[in-house]
């Protein structure tokens, strides 16, 4: 994706800080610049009827997929262990399977942490005059 888009008299740039810079060079007084926080962009998009991706829904879908994978891995491991024990074999393959399950569970824990983290973190000490949203910079 391009980090800068240009329209007649307006360029939009994604800044390394995560802000979006709108610059209009056609002003009589010189260049006019406005930096927008992603929450401001999301609010503007909602005001004109566009919806933004929902982090929680996306992560919940990923969690559901991971849970299905772990459940399948656990069922496969159970079958492998039963077969290895019945045949009097070693359990090296089964040990490897448990490592995959452990990694999948670690991924699930990481995703759960992401879901629990706030989408917007209020800047410490930010004043909330008039009930407006406090946006960290």
State residue 52's pLDDT score: 61
What's the confidence (pLDDT) of residue 129? 47
**pTM: predicted TM-score of the whole model, two decimal places:** 0.41
* Assigned domain for 19 exists: yes
Mark whether 102 and 80 lie in a shared domain.
Answer: yes
* Same domain as 103, residue 61: yes
Can you give the residue range of the structural domain that contains 19? Answer: 4-47
Token pair 């074999």 is found at 89
Residue 132 belongs to a domain: no
For residue 61, the model assigns a pLDDT of 83
State whether 43 and 71 are in the same domain. no
Query: Is there a domain that residue 18 lies in?
Result: yes
Position 77 in a domain: yes
- The rounded radius of gyration (Å) of the Cα atoms in the chain is 25
Q: Does any domain span residue 96?
A: yes
Q: How high does pLDDT run on average in the chain?
A: 78
For residue 86, being part of any structural domain is answered with: yes
Highest mean pLDDT among 29-33, 53-57, 112-116: 29-33
Helix (H) or strand (E) holding 13: strand 10-14
Residue 126 belongs to a domain: no
Token pair for 1? 């994706």
Range list of β-strands (E), 56-112: none
What single DSSP character describes residue 3?
S
The answer to which of 6-15, 30-39, 44-53 has the lowest mean pLDDT is 44-53
């Amino acid at each position: 994706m391009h980090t800068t888009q240009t329209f007649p008299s307006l360029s939009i740039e994604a800044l390394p800080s995560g802000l979006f810079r709108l610059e209009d060079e056609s002003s009589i007084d010189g260049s006019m610049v406005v930096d927008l926080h992603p929450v401001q962009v999301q609010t503007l998009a909602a005001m004109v009827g566009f919806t933004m991706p929902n982090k929680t829904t996306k992560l919940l879908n990923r969690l559901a997929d991971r849970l299905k994978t772990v459940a399948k891995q656990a069922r496969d491991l159970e079958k492998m262990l039963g077969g290895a024990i019945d045949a009097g074999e070693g359990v090296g393959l089964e040990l490897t399977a448990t490592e995959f399950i452990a990694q999948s569970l670690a991924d699930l824990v990481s995703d759960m942490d992401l879901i629990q983290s706030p989408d917007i973190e209020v800047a410490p000490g930010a004043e909330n005059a008039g009930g407006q949203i406090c946006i960290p910079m």
